[in-house]
Amino acid sequence: MEAARPQREPALDADYDVEAVRAQFPALQQEVYDEQPLVYLDNAATTQKPQAVVDRLERYYTRENANVHRGVHVLSQQASSAYEAVRERVADFIGAPEPDRGPAHAQIVYTRGTTEAINLVAATWGRSELEAGDEVLLSRMEHHSNIVPWQRICEETGAELKVIPVTDRGELDVEALEALLSERTELVAVTHVSNTLGTINPVERITEKAHAAGAKVLVDGAQSVPHMEIDVAELGVDFFCFSGHKMYGPTGIGALYGRRKLLDAMPPYQGGGDMIDEVSFGGTTYAEVPHKFEAGTPSIADVIALGAAAAWLDDMGRERVHEHERALLRYATERAREIDDIRLIGTAREKASVLSFLLGDVHPYDAGTVLDRLGIAVRTGHHCTQPLMERLEIPGTVRASLACYNTREDIDRLAEGLEKVRTMFG
């Protein structure tokens, strides 16, 4: 490719200093293989961590380490205070509304991530509310984590799983959703942003239609929280799930937002310490939400660092991050279209931060392996969306996914790498 290229899009926000952003991420400063600067484009799988998050983890373990809710000593009190303060920050971070009873943050349940949050709802709300003849609607673009838990609970309860189709462009067929909704529909569970295609689903419209039919709505927000401002009150959803590690926080921590009335009615997910009111061999009573869903010693350090990640994103300005990523995705899409034999997978009108593609007859794994040796990290395969791959009649894709620290130079490196892949396998 030529060394100098005309600019197609206006320059990225001049006030957005991407190099200053990158400087906050230690992992991005390294070289791999033969002194290749790392180009990290696997952010839909997990994001790198800013120094602020790493420092917060270190501070907890070196100065505050203690169990929460159990001690009168100073370390336990400090840890408990920091731990619960994050619940309030998370509630504010996603716009959790004030319920009829209790504060907004009482509707935030800590989980190990999006997967556990969905399993929690399926195992508690699903088991107590679903029965034979009921229906659960899922879209064909769902991650396996928003398919398998519902398959299992439908098998157990006799409820029926129905699938909302996806168009050739990779958009959810909302008209088909409306046709599927009926008085038997109890739940609509959809992803906010497709991890494979980047499609942004019209959650507000989906929620409006589902509620009109008397159904509840669960949204997988794993791919939306890192890339846009979230307001669950505005979206109108009943459940919203996300993971910390996809928003520059630690692995092994996430959150479930649920409407207070629903959480109150749901039975506990697990039994153990900290989720009880009183225990005797004659019977047990449970703590109020959210604690009745949080059995045992939690991931205290990771919760506290999740709060640091949310604070970091707020300080960055989530709308500014979103604009940077949107401009970068447009640039990446244009660069990709200049490459012979490339086929873009997922061309929805509303997209976020994901470019999936195939390159001629080159197997995605082979393309990913060559790119890796060039210092470019992408994801290959079916991305835990096998039903979507079946719908699109492909075995998988190469996926480049963007974050706040990616640059046009990263995209240029990717395009140059793909030209090398094409030459090698051409």
CA distance 258 to 218: 9
DSSP, res 184: T
The per-type count for the chain, helices as H runs and strands as E runs, is 15, 17
Can you read off the two tokens belonging to residue 99? 């319920």
DSSP, res 385: -
CA distance 289 to 28: 40
CA distance 62 to 296: 22
The C-alpha angle 219, 181, 172, rounded to 5 degrees, equals: 50
Q: Is 241 a catalytic residue?
A: no
Length of the chain (residues): 426
Nearest to 195 by CA among 352, 63, 48, 347: 352
Contact predicate 235/193, CB 8 Å: no
CA distance 217 to 221: 12
> Does residue 290 have a cis peptide bond before it, meaning omega lies within 30 degrees of 0?
yes
Which positions are catalytic? 384
